[in-house]
With several copies, the nearest count.
Chain A
Amino acid sequence: MTDVALLVDVGLSFRDDLGIGGPARLDRKQAMAQLTMVKALNLALTEVMRENPNVMMMGQDVGIDEGVFRVTEGLLKEFGEDRVVDTPLAEAGIVGSAVGLCMKGFLPVCEMQFDGFSYQAFHQVEGHVRRLRNRTRGRFTCPMVIRMPYGGGIRAIEHHSEAPEATYAHLAGLKVVLPSGPRNARALLRAAILDPDPVVVLEPKAIYRAFREEVPDAPETMPIGKGVIARPGKDVTIITYAAMVRTVLEAAEELAEEHGVDAEVVDLLSVAPIDNDLINASVRKTGRAVVVHESYRHCGVGGEIVARIVEDSLMYLEAPIKRVTGYDTIIPFFANEQNWLPSSAKVVSAALETVRF
């Protein structure tokens, strides 16, 4: 019942040899450019829009202003007003009209200006975007992307630092990806646009411009639903994604240098689907796990990860699994947000507790 024709139709080729790894696996010989995540996302958009005239970019201030984070830089100029659209100020309007555009064969990329305003479109996502294929038994599909700046750490005002990944991941019918660096951001956004189903792309705004990475000349895609080992290790598995990958890698360095603990860091890249095999393979190897994410703990992705480990690998576990997460409070206004967010120090102490259990 899989719609293979459609897969081919939109040029989707999730061939494994195109799959790229995390920062640790940049080994192919190619021309490379040093890009920030913002530039890498911009590159992905530009590439796909050049290849496929059905791809549209729409949202608040994505045109002449080129996006409040400049992710859509140059797009209006190159692709014109019909394909790069400054919409009126209504999030449900963006997503809802994009559902209609999908029915006319377009591939809309919707920008929510901030994570915190994506809730305004929630009923359209819940009620139509994720249901259209199933409801119509494949007559209509929703190959749209909803992308948004995600998470805290940029000292923004209220509603600009939310982490809604569990909320979206819980909604069957969506895919939810969270890049952790420029290269995988470009590859995941491309994969998301080419994917025949709706994909929510949560772009960790804290690392939009935090560092550069080499990005090859040729477009890449990554398979959605697969994570990567961001750092191999043997003593404890730390599972994370998005901006927290950097935090965790930092913690892993400290664990190695100061405590002789060799942590394996799993970068999930996608929380729906989630890479069950990778998680369990790593935990079976290390026997210990810590989960790190910046959203609320209660009913967050962390709980799901723990449940997956318990379901498949309980007997390998040598210690309770700790969750280092945002607390179950409103994320504080920015003066105090760093105390709310997981920090490398919090990760180190959770990992040590787990290892020393």
Chain B
Amino acid sequence: MPRDTVPIPGKIEKIEILSHDGKLDTKLEPKLPDADLRKLFRYMLFTRMLDERCLHLQRQGRIGTYGPCKGQEATPLGVAYHLRKEDWFVPSYRELSGFLWRGWPVDRYMLWWGGHEIGSSIPPEVNDTPICVPIASQVQYAAGIAWGAKLRKDGTVVACFCGDGGTSEGDFHEGMNYATVFKVPLVMIVQNNQWAISVPRHKQTASQTIAQKAVAYGIDAMIVDGNDILAVLVAAKEAIDKARNGGGPTLIEAITYRLSMHTTADDPKKYRSEAEVKSWEAKDPLPRFRDYLRKKKLLDEKIEAVMEEDIRNELDTAVAKYEQYRHDPYAMFDYMYAQMTPELARQKQELKAALGGDVAPQRETARTHG
């Protein structure tokens, strides 16, 4: 074949099950126990309400800058649902629904945004990694955890998340390459929410889809409507099962939208139209899932009201717990090394002297300084 077109290897599948206008593909509809469906909804709602509460706390200066996840509740939840406890959930920072599902305490989430390291301290019984700030850097350790899982032959799977913007970083590429070369049990989910702060998806990469980046690593990909939790559940299950069975990584592009600002420091009006936001509000995962469950008679206004009330109470408790937290001003020295170095011991004494001797754990609200 002196000159020929070579077929491009690989497969991209696209899955939508519950459309934003309520159309349901019953053939593809996942068959989950009713209780689970309701529980998923509760987590979705909880996420939405916690997110709102955090915005509120931020406005009152009770936490710092906050990065909301409104509109992106379905994807992390649908993925987390199919993970086992022993599996690993490796988030970026917009996977609140997944954190909650996995058992991350609510007050720890607030503590993170409130400027406390303890917010990164995942409870010992949960195999999550904390919020990861340097974009896409988590893809590298996700690949490493999954590699470790393969070496340990312990049958665990890693689900890792990043954003559409994250795919531009070298770390995304290197992590994907390692994961695929070593054929590790990794499910890589890109939450394509159309924006990386002010940079729209089409300025981020010239590829028509994010999913097709899988071709570069010789693996298959899926595109799901990331606002359709049913589609996410189906895609995630397939990818997780495949990973668990030694089939290696899958790339999932979840098409979604950041309905709110990038963070509370951001003003999205500067770079995107109201009309665009409106059009995506119509695709909001939460009402969509609610309507589905109502049709199934798993929800009604009364149940929802009780749910909301319960959640509100839980949030109140969590906020109270958050605000009771007292941090140790000297703890900065204590976790640098397993054994404190002489120099750090000396510097700890310096700080003690500066603070006028041993100071009891402090309560510093977000307003204390600045």
Interface residues as binary, A321-341 with B (CB distance below 8 Å gives 1, 0 otherwise): 000000111101111111110
Given contacts A66-B270, A349-B354, contact A103 B129 (CB under 8 A): yes
Q: Which residues of B contact A221 (CB under 8 A)?
A: none
Residues 234-270 (chain B) with a chain A CB within 8 angstroms: 265-266, 270
Q: Which residues of A contact B196 (CB under 8 A)?
A: 60, 89
Q: For the complex, give the distance between the alpha carbons of A327 and B266 in Å.
A: 31
Q: Which residues of A contact B141 (CB under 8 A)?
A: 96-97, 99-100, 103, 128
B109: min CB distance to chain A, Å: 13
B103: min CB distance to chain A, Å: 14
CB–CB B134/A117 < 8 A: yes
Query: What are the 7 A-B residue pairs with the smallest beta carbon separation, nearest first?
Result: A100-B144, A96-B140, A104-B148, A97-B144, A65-B198, A334-B115, A335-B115
Q: Which residues of B contact A103 (CB under 8 A)?
A: 88, 129, 141, 144-145, 148
Interface residues as binary, A1-28 with B (CB distance below 8 Å gives 1, 0 otherwise): 1111011000010000000000000000
CB–CB A273/B341 < 8 A: yes
Contact partner, A68, options B116, B171, B197, B333, Cβ 8 Å: B197
- Residue A155 at the chain B interface, CB threshold 8 Å: yes
Interface residues as binary, B310-344 with A (CB distance below 8 Å gives 1, 0 otherwise): 00000000000000000101011111111111111
A206: min CB distance to chain B, Å: 8
Grouping DSSP codes into helix (H, G, I), strand (E, B) and loop, the A interface class, with mixed when no group exceeds half, is: loop
- Residue A138 at the chain B interface, CB threshold 8 Å: yes
Given contacts A116-B134, A335-B327, contact A97 B117 (CB under 8 A): no
Residues 41-97 (chain A) with a chain B CB within 8 angstroms: 60-61, 63-66, 68, 82, 86-90, 92-93, 95-97
- Residue B174 at the chain A interface, CB threshold 8 Å: yes
Q: For the complex, give the distance between the alpha carbons of A88 and B114 in Å.
A: 30
Q: Which residues of A contact B209 (CB under 8 A)?
A: none
Q: For the complex, give the distance between the alpha carbons of A12 and B339 in Å.
A: 11
- Residue A137 at the chain B interface, CB threshold 8 Å: yes
- Residue B170 at the chain A interface, CB threshold 8 Å: yes
Q: For the complex, give the distance between the alpha carbons of A330 and B133 in Å.
A: 15
Given contacts A105-B148, A225-B341, A329-B332, contact A336 B198 (CB under 8 A): no
Q: What are 24 pairs between A and B in contact, CB < 8 Å?
A: A4-B338, A64-B198, A65-B197, A90-B177, A93-B140, A93-B175, A96-B137, A97-B140, A97-B144, A100-B141, A101-B147, A103-B129, A103-B141, A116-B134, A137-B118, A140-B129, A154-B370, A155-B370, A156-B65, A157-B64, A173-B337, A196-B338, A197-B338, A340-B332
Of B4-12, B37-45, B199-207, B292-300, the one touching chain A: B199-207
Of A119-127, A181-189, A230-238, the one touching chain B: A119-127
Contact partner, A96, options B149, B174, B204, B343, Cβ 8 Å: B174
Given contacts A123-B137, A273-B343, contact A137 B117 (CB under 8 A): yes
Given contacts A96-B175, A134-B117, A338-B369, contact A89 B338 (CB under 8 A): no
Interface residues as binary, A128-152 with B (CB distance below 8 Å gives 1, 0 otherwise): 1000011111111100000000000
Q: For the complex, give the distance between the alpha carbons of A138 and B337 in Å.
A: 9
Interface residues as binary, B146-160 with A (CB distance below 8 Å gives 1, 0 otherwise): 111101100000000
Q: Which residues of A contact B140 (CB under 8 A)?
A: 92-93, 95-97, 99-100, 124
A322: min CB distance to chain B, Å: 10
Q: For the complex, give the distance between the alpha carbons of A124 and B169 in Å.
A: 13
- What residue of chain A has the Cβ atom nearest to residue B166's Cβ? A89
Q: Which residues of B contact A99 (CB under 8 A)?
A: 140-141, 144
CB–CB B170/A90 < 8 A: yes
- Residue A345 at the chain B interface, CB threshold 8 Å: yes
Find the residue from A97, A117, A138, A225 having the highest chain B CB count within 10 A: A97
CB–CB B270/A97 < 8 A: no
- What residue of chain B has the Cβ atom nearest to residue A198's Cβ? B337
Extra contacts besides A117-B135, A157-B64 (10): CB < 8 Å: A1-B331, A64-B198, A65-B197, A96-B144, A96-B174, A96-B175, A100-B143, A153-B369, A334-B64, A336-B116
Find the residue from B134, B142, B333, B369 having the highest chain A CB count within 10 A: B134
CB–CB B339/A328 < 8 A: no
Contact partner, A333, options B117, B146, B350, Cβ 8 Å: B117
B24: min CB distance to chain A, Å: 36
Contact partner, A88, options B204, B353, B354, Cβ 8 Å: B204
A164: min CB distance to chain B, Å: 14
Q: Which residues of A contact B129 (CB under 8 A)?
A: 103, 140
How many residues does chain A have at the interface if contact means C-beta atoms less than 8 Å apart?
Answer: 89
Residues 109-128 (chain B) with a chain A CB within 8 angstroms: 112-122, 124
Q: Which residues of A contact B51 (CB under 8 A)?
A: none
Given contacts A2-B339, A157-B133, contact A63 B198 (CB under 8 A): yes
CB–CB B151/A82 < 8 A: yes
- Residue A343 at the chain B interface, CB threshold 8 Å: yes
Given contacts A1-B335, A3-B338, A96-B175, contact A343 B329 (CB under 8 A): no
Q: For the complex, give the distance between the alpha carbons of A12 and B334 in Å.
A: 19
- What residue of chain A has the Cβ atom nearest to residue B359's Cβ? A339
- What residue of chain B has the Cβ atom nearest to residue A341's Cβ? B369
CB–CB B171/A92 < 8 A: yes
Contact partner, B147, options A7, A97, A273, Cβ 8 Å: A97
- Residue B347 at the chain A interface, CB threshold 8 Å: yes
Q: For the complex, give the distance between the alpha carbons of A103 and B122 in Å.
A: 12
CB–CB A100/B145 < 8 A: yes
Q: For the complex, give the distance between the alpha carbons of A265 and B124 in Å.
A: 48
Interface residues as binary, B69-108 with A (CB distance below 8 Å gives 1, 0 otherwise): 0000000000000000000100000000000000000000
CB–CB B134/A123 < 8 A: yes
CB–CB B333/A329 < 8 A: yes
Q: Which residues of A contact B344 (CB under 8 A)?
A: 327-329
- Residue B226 at the chain A interface, CB threshold 8 Å: no
Interface residues as binary, B334-370 with A (CB distance below 8 Å gives 1, 0 otherwise): 1111111111100100110111000000101010111
- Residue A106 at the chain B interface, CB threshold 8 Å: yes
Find the residue from B124, B362, B370 having the highest chain A CB count within 10 A: B370
